[in-house]
């Protein structure tokens, strides 16, 4: 009786937690089906072990030799076939759920997740597929190491994710989705998710792959809202961020500093057609940063500043970059080590 209660209690707390996505619910049900089968096998085998141990225990002073049977082909075939059938059935069920979990199709909204030591950046795009994306002008990034960013998502619609890393391997994990996918440098992983329309609220997310000292602080919040609320949020956010990323030049000596894995400004400006300098102060002890200017967010064509990911300043230290004259335009800068540290570079 006690044993039954313990098993029941263990089973109850060992059921899959509720999921907020349809595929997550499928994974949860599959887990619970396996759990029931596993419990039957567990109870059966443990009972057989305990029964045979107690039933056939040696009485005191019993020197007799039991019957020396060496095997029984028929029963051995039976207990090879039965587990094989169970395993095959589980495999078929698993593959069905796996196909649904990994299913991708064109989605109106794409979120590009960038993992870096030790924060997340979320960029919002719209577009029919991975090759035709238009930025929605919204980029969410943490204010610093200890204030996690919030990933805002609409419920009830299919959302496409792209995962990229700029340093080591991370893993993008939302326990409430019963899902994670690794964030691998040199590789773009993708998946789709649809959040249940009734699941509006705040949830936790976290990096699940060891990525260095501050791995356990690489968390984020997930805020889900209705489609209409989300449209309002993204429009507001785009306006706010556009404002943040406009500024005007005031001389040829620019200044920027980094502290707590964040720049002190999201916009730098320089006068057109004149060489200028950027005085960069890295206040993060033991953490490397730099400032590199690119033509745009894709950060492929360098214009000035640091010469690349190997040209780093480990704080506390100051460096002055000399940048040649640039033509008027709206450019982009970031820290090569922490792409979440970025901003607009205005030349006019």
Of 123-162, which residues contact other proteins (CB under 8 A)? 148
Rule CB under 8 A: say whether 49 interacts with other proteins.
yes
CB of 68 to other proteins, least distance (A): 6
Q: For other proteins, give the closer residue by CB, 63 or 131.
A: 63
Q: For other proteins, give the closer residue by CB, 174 or 344.
A: 174
Near other proteins in 285-344, by CB under 8 A: 286-288, 309, 314, 337
Rule CB under 8 A: say whether 30 interacts with other proteins.
yes
Sheet holding 170-174, edge to edge: 150-154, 219-225, 202-207, 170-174, 179-183
Chosen residue from 187, 232, 240, 327 binding other proteins by CB under 8 A: 187
Window of 59-67, 104-112, 266-274, 316-324 that interacts with other proteins by CB under 8 A: 59-67
Window of 69-77, 108-116, 242-250, 325-333 that interacts with other proteins by CB under 8 A: 69-77
CB of 260 to other proteins, least distance (A): 14
Chosen residue from 138, 178, 254, 346 binding other proteins by CB under 8 A: 178
The maximal CA–CA distance of the chain, rounded, in angstroms, is 103
Residue pair 124/109 in contact by the 8 Å Cβ criterion: yes
Near other proteins in 87-106, by CB under 8 A: 87-88, 90-91, 93-95, 97-98, 101
Report CA-CA distances (Å) from 225 to 58, 108, 205, 206, 320. Answer: 67, 16, 16, 20, 45
Rule CB under 8 A: say whether 61 interacts with other proteins.
no
Chosen residue from 7, 11, 16, 238 binding other proteins by CB under 8 A: 16
Rule CB under 8 A: say whether 228 interacts with other proteins.
no
Cα dihedral sign, 171-177-179-184? negative
Rule CB under 8 A: say whether 111 interacts with other proteins.
no
Q: For other proteins, give the closer residue by CB, 11 or 267.
A: 11
Report CA-CA distances (Å) from 247 to 210, 242, 273, 274, 280. Answer: 39, 10, 17, 17, 18
Rule CB under 8 A: say whether 29 interacts with other proteins.
no
Q: For other proteins, give the closer residue by CB, 169 or 200.
A: 169
Please choose, from the candidates 152, 111, 149, 157, the residue with its C-alpha nearest in 3D space to the C-alpha of residue 130.
Answer: 111
The DSSP call for residue 64 is: P
Secondary structure (3-state) at 56: coil
- Return d(Cα 257, Cα 75) in angstroms, integer: 75
Q: For other proteins, give the closer residue by CB, 36 or 272.
A: 36
Rule CB under 8 A: say whether 212 interacts with other proteins.
yes
Residue in the block written with tokens 């008027």? 328
Chosen residue from 1, 2, 5, 75 binding other proteins by CB under 8 A: 75
Report CA-CA distances (Å) from 208 to 14, 166, 174, 283. Answer: 21, 16, 9, 28
Secondary structure (3-state) at 300: coil
CB of 195 to other proteins, least distance (A): 16
Residue pair 30/93 in contact by the 8 Å Cβ criterion: yes
Chosen residue from 2, 4, 5, 71 binding other proteins by CB under 8 A: 71
């Amino acid at each position: 009786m006690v044993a039954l209660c313990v098993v029941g209690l263990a089973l109850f707390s060992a059921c899959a937690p509720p999921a907020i996505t349809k595929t997550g619910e499928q994974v949860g049900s599959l887990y619970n089906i396996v759990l029931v089968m596993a419990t039957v096998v567990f109870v059966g085998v443990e009972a057989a072990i305990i029964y045979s141990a107690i039933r056939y225990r040696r009485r005191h002073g019993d020197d007799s030799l039991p019957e020396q049977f060496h095997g029984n082909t028929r029963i051995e075939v039976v207990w090879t076939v039965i587990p094989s059938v169970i395993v095959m059935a589980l495999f078929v069920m698993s593959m069905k759920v796996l196909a649904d979990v990994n299913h991708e199709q064109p989605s109106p909204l794409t979120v590009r997740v960038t993992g870096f030591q030790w924060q997340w950046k979320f960029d919002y795009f719209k577009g029919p597929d991975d090759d035709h994306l238009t930025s929605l002008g919204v980029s969410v990034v943490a204010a610093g190491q200890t204030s996690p960013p919030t990933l805002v998502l609409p419920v009830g619609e299919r959302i496409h994710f792209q995962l990229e890393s700029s340093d080591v391997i991370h893993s993008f994990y939302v326990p409430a989705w019963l899902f994670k996918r690794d964030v691998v440098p040199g590789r773009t992983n993708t998946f789709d998710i649809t959040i249940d329309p009734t699941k509006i609220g705040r949830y936790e997310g976290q990096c699940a792959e060891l990525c260095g000292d501050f791995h356990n602080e690489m968390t984020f919040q997930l805020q889900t809202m209705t489609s209409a609320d989300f449209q309002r949020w993204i429009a507001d956010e785009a306006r706010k961020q556009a404002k943040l990323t406009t500024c005007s030049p005031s001389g040829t000596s620019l200044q920027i500093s980094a502290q707590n894995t964040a720049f002190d400004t999201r916009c730098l400006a320089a006068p057109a057609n004149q060489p200028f300098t950027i005085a960069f102060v890295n206040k993060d002890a033991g953490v490397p940063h730099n400032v590199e200017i690119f033509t745009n967010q894709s950060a492929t064509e360098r214009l000035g500043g640091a010469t690349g990911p190997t040209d780093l300043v480990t704080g506390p230290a100051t460096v002055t970059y000399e940048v040649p004259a640039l033509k008027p335009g709206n450019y982009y800068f970031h820290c090569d080590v922490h792409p979440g540290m970025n901003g607009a570079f205005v030349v006019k």
